[in-house]
């Protein structure tokens, strides 16, 4: 206990030195130098849906009963693959009847030819009248006309048989199945829906201001679930869509890019804005009241502040922070374009701004 007064006096004697050490401390900050820009380029996104150039609802041209459905939704098929068959038993019966009639006609025509040859032989010997020959010639013409009719009937049956089988018109994917075995379908009733495999396109609207930023045959950057890729501009509408007041841009995706039919895709375009300002790190932005923003500018201490410093201090020990209001205009990743009353070459605090205050003495730790 006898040492307590001495220790207390020693501690009290050190307070001025501690206060001086605290006042001489300079907080290290990372600095970023701003440069005034005449404007900025903003990345604009415009959305649309990818679709197949061929999206078909396949139907039978003839009514009938479904005999078999050979595919299901989601199945990939090649061009010419049989999808659905109708019951063709009646048509097959008709084909057999016509085939029999053709055989009968052929036999009758052969008999008429033989009779005609015989009558002409007899006529040459004076044993046959011209009337018999004329009758056979007439019968021959009738039989030939009947054969043409039968051939036409057979072609009609063949066509109906062919149209009783629904085939894939192109390589693609079955997106919907609308019929089942045993149901009666009407003429033109959709049975199978398909989209073409591989190729994908999209139609995306852009505003009038960006009409000249794309051109037919050129390429643009697109994004989607597939990632990022380049797409070719097939066409650009010259007239505005009255509903959206945009120009329709038709894009074609490379076949190497797997784009799902109906998926949302984005076209990225650069739009230049002539707004003088500065790019600053996002980490340099200090949020204030009611949505206001500011940055800390690093400035030299005033003469009054500098006179309080020791003559032996380095130049960076005479730096203080000054708060400047800024107005964010556009954010791009980890940087923000702002308008502010700053000068080119001004250094600002690049990070950790919530740890500092206006008027605080600092020293630059790094860039």
Residues facing 42 on adjacent strands: 271
Candidates 3.30.230.10, 2.40.420.20, 3.30.420.40, 3.30.70.60; correct CATH number of 25-40+275-366? 2.40.420.20
Please, what CATH class does the domain formed by 55-87+164-196 belong to?
Answer: mainly beta
By CB neighbour count within 10 A (0-12 exposed, 13-18 middle, 19+ buried), where does 319 fall?
buried
pLDDT category, 303, cuts 50, 70, 90?
low
Does residue 1 carry a pLDDT above 80?
no
Query: What is the pTM assigned to this prediction?
Result: 0.60
Q: Structural domain boundaries of the chain?
A: 25-40+275-366, 43-53+198-273, 55-87+164-196, 89-162
336-355 b/e (C-beta count within 10 Å ≥ 16 → b)? bbbebebeeebbbbbeebee
Q: What is the mean pLDDT of residues 286-308?
A: 79
How confident is the model at residue 60, as a pLDDT? 95
pLDDT of 69 reads: 96
More confident residue, 318 or 226: 226
Confidence of residue 255 (pLDDT cuts 50, 70, 90): confident
Task: Decide if pLDDT at 312 tops 50.
Answer: no
Does the domain made of 43-53+198-273 have the CATH classification 2.70.98.10? no
Higher-scoring residue by pLDDT: 193, 136: 193
Q: Model confidence over 322-360: pLDDT tens digits?
A: 999 999 999 998 999 999 999 999 999 999 999 999 999
């Amino acid at each position: 206990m006898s040492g307590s007064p001495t220790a207390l006096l020693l501690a009290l004697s050190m307070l001025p030195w501690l206060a001086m050490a605290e006042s001489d401390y300079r907080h290290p900050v990372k600095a970023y130098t701003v440069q005034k820009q005449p404007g900025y380029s903003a990345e604009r996104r415009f959305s649309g849906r990818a679709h197949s150039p061929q999206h078909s609802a396949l139907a039978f041209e003839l009514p009938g009963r479904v005999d078999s459905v050979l595919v299901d939704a989601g199945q990939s098929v090649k061009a010419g693959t049989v999808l659905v068959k109708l019951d063709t038993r009646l048509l097959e019966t008709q084909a057999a009847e016509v085939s029999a009639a053709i055989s009968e006609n052929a036999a009758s025509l052969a008999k008429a030819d033989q009779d005609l040859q015989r009558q002409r032989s007899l006529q040459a010997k004076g044993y046959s009248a011209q009337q018999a020959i004329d009758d056979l010639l007439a019968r021959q013409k009738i039989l030939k006309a009947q054969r043409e009719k039968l051939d036409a009937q057979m072609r009609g049956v063949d066509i109906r048989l062919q149209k009783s089988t629904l085939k894939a018109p192109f390589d693609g994917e079955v997106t919907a199945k609308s019929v089942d075995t045993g149901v009666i379908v009407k003429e033109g009733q959709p049975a199978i829906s398909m989209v073409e495999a591989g190729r994908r396109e999209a139609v995306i609207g852009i505003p009038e201001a960006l009409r000249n930023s794309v051109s037919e045959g050129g390429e643009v950057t697109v994004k989607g679930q597939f990632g990022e890729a380049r797409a070719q501009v097939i066409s650009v509408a010259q007239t505005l869509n009255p509903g959206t007041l945009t120009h329709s841009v038709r894009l074609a995706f490379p076949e190497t890019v797997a784009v799902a039919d109906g998926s949302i895709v984005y076209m990225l375009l650069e739009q230049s804005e002539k707004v003088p300002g500065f790019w600053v790190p996002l980490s340099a932005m200090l949020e204030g009241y009611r949505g206001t923003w500011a940055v800390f500018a690093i400035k030299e201490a005033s003469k009054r502040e500098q006179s309080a410093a020791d003559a032996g201090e380095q130049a960076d020990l005479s730096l203080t922070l000054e708060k400047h209001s800024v107005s964010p205009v556009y954010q791009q990743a980890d940087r923000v374009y702002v308008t502010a009353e700053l000068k080119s070459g001004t250094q600002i605090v690049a990070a950790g701004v919530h740890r500092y205050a206006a008027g605080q003495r600092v020293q630059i730790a790094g860039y």
